[in-house]
Protein backbone atom coordinates (compact mmCIF):
# COMPACT_ATOMS: atom_id res chain seq x y z
CA UNK A 1 0.00 0.00 0.00
CA UNK A 2 2.83 2.40 0.78
CA UNK A 3 4.43 1.78 -2.60
CA UNK A 4 1.12 2.41 -4.36
CA UNK A 5 0.56 5.59 -2.35
CA UNK A 6 4.11 6.81 -3.04
CA UNK A 7 3.54 6.43 -6.77
CA UNK A 8 0.53 8.78 -6.60
CA UNK A 9 2.35 11.63 -4.86
CA UNK A 10 3.27 14.86 -6.64
CA UNK A 11 5.46 17.93 -6.18
CA UNK A 12 3.08 19.34 -3.55
CA UNK A 13 3.49 16.26 -1.32
CA UNK A 14 6.03 15.15 1.25
CA UNK A 15 6.84 11.53 2.05
CA UNK A 16 7.94 11.00 5.66
CA UNK A 17 9.92 7.76 5.80
CA UNK A 18 11.15 5.92 8.90
CA UNK A 19 13.93 3.36 8.76
CA UNK A 20 16.42 2.52 11.47
CA UNK A 21 18.96 0.95 9.11
CA UNK A 22 18.07 2.71 5.87
CA UNK A 23 18.74 -0.52 4.01
CA UNK A 24 15.39 -2.30 3.85
CA UNK A 25 14.65 -3.00 0.18
CA UNK A 26 10.91 -2.31 0.40
CA UNK A 27 11.49 1.05 2.08
CA UNK A 28 14.09 2.05 -0.51
CA UNK A 29 11.59 1.22 -3.28
CA UNK A 30 8.97 3.41 -1.60
CA UNK A 31 11.42 6.34 -1.41
CA UNK A 32 12.43 5.80 -5.04
CA UNK A 33 8.80 5.84 -6.11
CA UNK A 34 8.06 9.01 -4.13
CA UNK A 35 11.06 10.79 -5.69
CA UNK A 36 10.07 9.61 -9.17
CA UNK A 37 6.59 11.05 -8.57
CA UNK A 38 8.14 14.42 -7.67
CA UNK A 39 7.50 14.43 -3.92
CA UNK A 40 9.97 15.71 -1.37
CA UNK A 41 11.23 13.04 1.02
CA UNK A 42 12.10 13.35 4.68
CA UNK A 43 13.96 10.40 6.16
CA UNK A 44 14.18 9.62 9.87
CA UNK A 45 17.00 7.11 10.34
CA UNK A 46 19.97 6.17 12.48
CA UNK A 47 22.63 6.12 9.76
CA UNK A 48 23.65 8.99 7.51
CA UNK A 49 24.98 6.74 4.74
CA UNK A 50 22.66 4.02 3.50
CA UNK A 51 20.86 3.07 0.28
CA UNK A 52 17.80 4.99 1.51
CA UNK A 53 19.60 8.29 2.12
CA UNK A 54 20.27 8.57 -1.63
CA UNK A 55 16.56 9.36 -2.11
CA UNK A 56 16.10 11.74 0.84
CA UNK A 57 15.83 15.49 0.51
CA UNK A 58 16.09 15.88 4.27
CA UNK A 59 17.73 13.40 6.64
CA UNK A 60 16.92 13.53 10.34
CA UNK A 61 19.29 11.34 12.32
CA UNK A 62 18.12 9.80 15.56
CA UNK A 63 18.20 6.61 17.54
CA UNK A 64 20.59 4.66 19.64
CA UNK A 65 22.85 1.87 18.49
CA UNK A 66 21.10 -1.49 18.53
CA UNK A 67 22.65 -4.89 18.96
CA UNK A 68 21.78 -7.88 16.80
CA UNK A 69 19.05 -9.04 19.18
CA UNK A 70 17.58 -5.58 19.77
CA UNK A 71 15.79 -4.99 16.47
CA UNK A 72 13.08 -2.38 17.01
CA UNK A 73 14.35 -1.35 20.44
CA UNK A 74 12.26 0.98 22.54
CA UNK A 75 15.00 3.63 22.68
CA UNK A 76 15.16 3.85 18.88
CA UNK A 77 11.37 4.02 18.60
CA UNK A 78 11.07 6.68 21.30
CA UNK A 79 13.67 8.88 19.62
CA UNK A 80 11.75 8.63 16.33
CA UNK A 81 8.47 9.42 18.07
CA UNK A 82 10.11 12.42 19.70
CA UNK A 83 11.06 13.76 16.27
CA UNK A 84 7.51 13.22 15.02
CA UNK A 85 6.21 15.14 18.04
CA UNK A 86 8.56 18.05 17.30
CA UNK A 87 7.56 18.10 13.62
CA UNK A 88 3.85 17.98 14.49
CA UNK A 89 4.13 20.69 17.13
CA UNK A 90 6.03 23.01 14.82
CA UNK A 91 3.60 22.41 11.94
CA UNK A 92 0.67 23.12 14.27
CA UNK A 93 2.34 26.30 15.49
CA UNK A 94 3.05 27.57 11.98
CA UNK A 95 -0.43 26.70 10.67
CA UNK A 96 -2.34 27.34 13.87
CA UNK A 97 -5.58 28.72 12.44
CA UNK A 98 -6.19 25.88 9.96
CA UNK A 99 -5.09 23.23 12.46
CA UNK A 100 -7.31 24.69 15.18
CA UNK A 101 -10.32 24.71 12.84
CA UNK A 102 -9.67 21.08 11.85
CA UNK A 103 -9.23 20.11 15.50
CA UNK A 104 -12.59 21.69 16.35
CA UNK A 105 -14.31 19.89 13.45
CA UNK A 106 -12.77 16.57 14.50
CA UNK A 107 -13.77 17.14 18.12
CA UNK A 108 -17.38 17.86 17.07
CA UNK A 109 -17.50 14.83 14.75
CA UNK A 110 -16.59 12.38 17.51
CA UNK A 111 -18.23 14.14 20.47
CA UNK A 112 -20.99 11.52 20.84
CA UNK A 113 -18.72 8.50 20.35
CA UNK A 114 -17.61 8.18 23.98
CA UNK A 115 -19.74 7.18 26.95
CA UNK A 116 -19.97 9.74 29.70
CA UNK A 117 -19.53 8.56 33.27
The DSSP code for 100 is: H
Cα angle at 3 between 14 and 13, to 5 degrees? Answer: 15
Whole-structure pTM value: 0.73
Q: For 112, list phi and psi in degrees, rounded to 5.
A: -95, 15
Q: State mean pLDDT over 89-101.
A: 96
Q: State mean pLDDT over 4-8.
A: 96
CA dihedral 54, 57, 63, 64 (to 10 degrees): 40
User: Is the pLDDT reported for residue 73 higher than 70?
Assistant: no
Q: pLDDT digit string (tens) for 18-65?
A: 998 899 999 999 999 999 999 999 999 988 999 999 999 999 998 766
Per the document, the length of the chain is 117
CA dihedral 77, 94, 7, 50 (to 10 degrees): -40
Amino acid sequence: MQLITASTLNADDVALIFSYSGSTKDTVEIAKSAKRAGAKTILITRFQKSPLTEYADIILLCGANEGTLQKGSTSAEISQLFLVDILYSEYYRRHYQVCKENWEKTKAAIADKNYSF
